[in-house]
Amino acid sequence: MHFTAESFIASLITGSVGYVYWSYGRKRPAPLFMVCGALLMVFPYFVESIPLTALITVGLAALPVVVRI
């Protein structure tokens, strides 16, 4: 795996959003937030492309909000 400063920052932001989603889902009975949060914290380890990381992050972050509406 090839790490650059940009990929590290993207992973840090994605993991931070994932932690917020996971903790929100844990405090409230919202299992979809917990699942999306866990996926947001884990998937950057397996994806090297920054645009693909951004696309997956936006999709996973929007999923619980869109499904709730």
Total count of domains within the chain: 1
| Pair 56, 43: CB distance under 8 Å | yes
Residue pLDDT tens, the chain, 69 long = 677 888 889 999 999 999 999 999 999 989 999 999 999 999 998 988 899 999 999 999 999 999 975
Quote the pLDDT of residue 35: 95
Residue 19: inside a domain: yes
Angle formed at CA 13 by CA 38 and CA 28, multiple of 5 degrees? 40
Residue 68 belongs to some domain of the structure: no
Residue 69 lies in a domain: no
Instruction: Note down the domain range covering 47.
Output: 5-63
Structure-block tokens of residue 65: 């909000």
